[in-house]
């Protein structure tokens, strides 16, 4: 299996997330991947996919056979999240921070549209602050 085939799932994810791909090719025994995404959260999802393909956890450093540069357009927030039915701030917090108890950080960052952490509405777009 070529490296390009090995890492195709990461490329597919990047495309699904709307990454602007500058290149993805094999060179000197490594995959060269350059792209631009909207937020740090999206960048992290792509990096996590590269790591998962190698059996590494999210805390690991990048695999040796990857030379990647994933730029972020908006560093001012971690992500922007549109509320869907059945969500709560704690569920959203768990998704972005792996910790449901950090929901107050999301509430504080959205006080302009939220009056109560238990009252979010479908369709609201919430700012997810950088961890």
Ranges of each domain in the chain: 3-72, 79-128
What is the average pLDDT score of the chain? Answer: 94
pLDDT for residue 115:
97
As a CATH number, domain 3-72 is 3.30.1340
Residue 86 φ/ψ region, left for φ over 0, alpha for ψ in the -120 to 50 degree band, beta for the rest: left
CA distance 61 to 64: 9
pLDDT for residue 13:
97
As a CATH number, domain 79-128 is 3.10.350.10
Which is higher by pLDDT, 56 or 90?
90
Mean of pLDDT values over 8-32: 93
* pTM beyond cutoff 0.85: yes
């Amino acid at each position: 299996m070529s490296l390009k085939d090995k890492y195709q799932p990461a490329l597919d994810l990047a495309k699904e997330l709307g990454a602007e791909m500058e290149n993805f090719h094999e060179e000197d025994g490594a995959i060269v991947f350059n792209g631009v995404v909207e937020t740090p959260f999206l960048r992290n999802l792509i990096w996590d996919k590269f790591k998962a393909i190698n059996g590494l956890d999210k805390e690991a450093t990048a695999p040796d056979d990857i030379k990647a540069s994933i730029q972020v357009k908006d560093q001012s927030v971690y992500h922007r999240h549109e509320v869907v039915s059945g969500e709560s701030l704690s569920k959203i917090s768990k998704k972005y921070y792996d910790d449901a108890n950090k929901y107050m950080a999301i509430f504080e960052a959205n006080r302009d549209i939220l009056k109560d952490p238990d009252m979010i509405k479908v369709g609201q777009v919430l700012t997810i602050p950088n961890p």
